[in-house]
Amino acid sequence: MNQITTSLLEKIEAWTAAVMVLVMPVFFLTTTANFYDLNKQILLLIGTILLLAIFALRAFMAKTVSLRKSPFTIPLLLFMAVVIISSTFAAPNRIAAWVTPLGATSIICLTIFALLITQMSDASKKLIASSLTFSGIVLSLVIFQQFVGVAKTILPKVPFLQDTAWTPSGSLYSSFVYLVAVITISFPKIMLLYKKDKTMATALYVFGIIVMTIAAVISLYQITALKKAVFLPQSVGWYIALDSLKNRLLLGYGPGNFLTAFTATRPLSFNQFEFWNLRFITSSNLYFHIWTTLGIAGLATFVSFVLVVIRHFRSSPFSFHKNTLPLVLVLVLGLIFPPAFLFLFLLYVLAGLHSAEYEHVTQKLTGQFQAVLLIPLLFLGYVFYQGTRVYAAEMHFKNAADALSLNQAQKTYEEHRLAIAQAPWRDTYRLSLSQVNMVLANAIAKNPNLTDQDRATLSQLIQQSIQEAKNAVSLNPTHVTNWENLARIYRQLLNIAKGADQWTVASYLQAINLDPYNPLLRIELGGVFYAAQNYDEAVRQFDTAARLKPDLANAHYNLAAAFAKQQNYQRAIAEMEAVVRLVPADSKDAEIAKQELEELKKNAASATPGNASGESLTNPQPDTPIVNPPLELPEDAAPPATESAQTVEPSPSASPSSSASGTPQPSSSNSPTPSTS
């Protein structure tokens, strides 16, 4: 009876793994803000828990556990250990590092999943390999119909289906890598089926390879010719990885924190690329990303895995290459493409399948070994509980975004609160809620006749906006986006609250400290000084922006305006001439620049450039509502103290002169204190 049950469990285990492999590349849900990676993570977590439970149950029933040796086990376990250590000790936000798609939780689940596949029978592995092929065919059909516009025609009201480059894998390059590997796996199967005279099965596999090849070509065409995907240049990824040796040698910046490394250490030459204003959350390729986020320890353990793969590929008989070649191809493609969740999933599945030619070792199931089996199961159970909270938070955040698009202020606010209650450690939720509060505050501030109740509500919304922005900074002080958001919150208060000018400058200086080669931050800070009539400091910031990116027309435009305020008209004319050269000749910007240049030349003493805004040229002075008398905010509204925000103050301060307006909005409670874990 036990033998029958064990055999049934073995089949259930194999089919569970096969279904996971079949569904993974095309699995997505629109119930969360992140359609793809988060849902694939949850699928992996649930599937891994089921597989581990079945494996443990089989072992308990048989009172023995049969373990298959694999040369990849130790390298994968060492790599997992480094990811756990880096997530715990190197990342500024430890919980976020654990739950990020390329973080500790994913790597633990992938490692267990690969090891469980390793222990399966050869028949089970063949089923999983076949499932890989069929998953590639399904993904290919989706890519093909999307490219020719079938879904776009049938479902014209579904936004993401209107993009011909959309793929359920989450990215074009993930699809390409996946299909290349699956095609390589499928070829030997055709030869085997042909030799066995299985005509229908052979024809099906041939059809599948043709479809997958077409889809792979489509994906590559969209990546290269149509430029539907933008990658960090290899030279920049290399530069950032090398720079991590200075301060983050051993454990890197931590999983999910490549953005911190990118903004802090990217070279000045990056500003010459056409996508200079983008911020990247992954490196140029898999290896540079591991090096930067996990340090030398992560790179060394992963390279040890690569070396083991290469050694076994070179030493194994040709008949075994069908298992190793796809793995080698994926590792080679890792030198070209950045990491993604599906990319890693494929890598670990192939590592598990590769062990088919190694022998089993049977171990009697003692009490100690039973505990060893239960520990990962209990751990994954706890992770699943936390995962449900993360998933609920993402659902609330998606609801908040949907409500915002429908101008439902109250629901937007409430859904943000619910998301934060489930995941108080997520800095992006705090950042978003701070912006929602600020939008509501600005709506009230525009009212020309503020009542005492309006002023009280306005003050409360502003304080909550500041607090949530500060919470985001506290949760991850190394992310420039958090400081940038705090600075912009303060900037909107320049004509509303006392002290907002100093707070704005302090926050911008810290943002610049984290992203020193970003000219846009310099322009925004220069605009604060310009509004405060501190034209010397405004000139310095605008000039720095122009030197960081000499072809940025808006930097020269703002610099011309600041020079004109200083009555340095020759420099103002020179900068406006640069603007005329840089903007498209037939644009609104060109019209504005030429008009203001003529005004400067005709009557320099009375000309005031910088008062108009075009397509890319913006007025240096922030456009904010005015509240008179200004609100007095408590001392704790000031930004967190930093070493970089102590040097410059906007003097003299701009004084408010008239009132402004809005509409009342939701009642709100005090912001919760950020999690310290």
CA 483 to CA 469: how far, in whole Å?
Answer: 8
- What value does the mean pLDDT take over residues 410-429? 96
pLDDT of 524 above 90: yes
Q: Residues 5, 11, 14, 19: what is their CA dihedral angle, to the nearest 10 degrees? A: -120
Q: Give the pLDDT of residue 498.
A: 84
In the chain, where are the structural domains located?
2-365, 426-645
For residue 359, the model assigns a pLDDT of 56
- Is the per-residue pLDDT at 675 higher than 50? no
446: β partners? 661
pLDDT at residue 362, rounded to an integer: 54
Peptide bond connecting 652 to the previous residue in cis, omega within 30 degrees of 0: yes
Q: Which residues contact 242 (CB under 8 A, 6 or more apart)?
A: none
Among 115-129, 304-318, 468-482, the least confident range: 304-318
What pLDDT, on the 0 to 100 scale, is given for residue 648? Answer: 47
The mean pLDDT value for 63-73 works out to 79
Residue 178 DSSP SS3: helix
pLDDT, position 663: 29
Across 490-503, average pLDDT: 88
Percentage of the chain surpassing pLDDT 90? 66
Question: For residue 169, which of 109, 105, 233, 101 has the smallest C-alpha distance?
Answer: 101
Burial 136-148 (b: 16+ CB within 10 A, else e): bbbbbbbbeebbe
The per-residue pLDDT for 468 is 96
- Of 631, 221, 235, nearest to 461 by C-alpha is 631
Q: Is the pLDDT of residue 200 over 50?
A: yes
pLDDT for residue 607: 60
Give the separation between CA 36 and CA 588, rounded to whole angstroms. 40
pLDDT tens, position by position, 158-194: 999 999 999 999 999 999 999 999 999 888 888 777 6
pLDDT at residue 320, as a whole number: 59
Which band of pLDDT confidence, cut at 50, 70 and 90, is reported for residue 454? confident
Q: Residue 567 above 50 pLDDT?
A: yes
| 336-354 average pLDDT score | 94
Rounded to the nearest integer, the mean pLDDT of the chain is 87
Distance of alpha carbon 254 from alpha carbon 360, whole angstroms: 36
The helix/strand/coil state of 233 is coil
- Domain 426-645 grouped into CATH 1.25.40.10: yes
Taking only the tens place, the pLDDT of each residue in 126-159 is 999 999 999 999 999 999 999 999 999 999 989 9
Query: What proportion of the chain, given as a percentage, has pLDDT over 70?
Result: 87
Q: Is the pLDDT of residue 660 over 50?
A: no
242-246 mean pLDDT: 94
pLDDT at 459 over 70: yes
Best CA proximity match to 611, nearest among 569, 654, 659, 562: 562
**Given a cut of 60, is residue 430 above it in pLDDT?**
yes
